[in-house]
Amino acid sequence: MIKNDDWIASMAQNGMIEPFEPQQVRQLNEIPCISYGLSSFGYDIRLSASEFRIFRHIPGTIVDPKNFNPKNLEFTQLCEDESGSYFILPAHSYGLGVSLEKLEIPNNVIVICLGKSTYARCGIIANVTPAEAAWRGYLTLELSNSSSTDCKIYASEGVLQLLFLEGEPCKVNYDNRQGKYQNQPARVTLAKI
């Protein structure tokens, strides 16, 4: 069953989401922002300003998920203007960021991460990823710019919506099986096997 705002707020008080915003925030310092915080049946997380990396083609290299070369990723500078702080995701490129919020998922819940419509309407596609039962850490966020123009990806503003689905507690959770992405730090975590 999908969980509602009351359940999410209650679980956040017990450390499931930190920091937690108990309502939808639509302005920062009187400037409109891409909303974040609690919604009816989800929670909109923010992109951390700490780092954002984009894939760059290096002639002669291939991206290999079994042997990931960090040289294929380039740090992107945080920019700022009257609209806020942002990273530039170039046209037809792919970037990795990290969530501002730390998550601690209960043993009977799986979290699905979906893109926000504001970004989707600009050609930004969020890779749909799960946060499994008993997973802890900061999410590495995967964003693709399918448009033919560069796009601003705003830091400290909403970037993805989390949906919480509850089931019976699992026999072997992510923590029990020592999942490779457990306890992710507040930085981009590269592909592992």
> Could you give the CA distance from residue 69 to residue 55 in angstroms, rounded to a whole number?
11
Catalytic member of 82, 142, 157, 166: 142
43 contacts 150 by C-beta, under 8 angstroms:
no
140 contacts 126 by C-beta, under 8 angstroms:
no
Known active-site residue 142? yes
163 contacts 2 by C-beta, under 8 angstroms:
yes
- In the three-class reduction of DSSP (H, G, I as helix; E, B as strand; rest coil), residue 135 is classed as coil
> Could you give the CA distance from residue 111 to residue 7 in angstroms, rounded to a whole number?
14
Facing residues of 43 across strands?
38, 162
Catalytic residues: 142
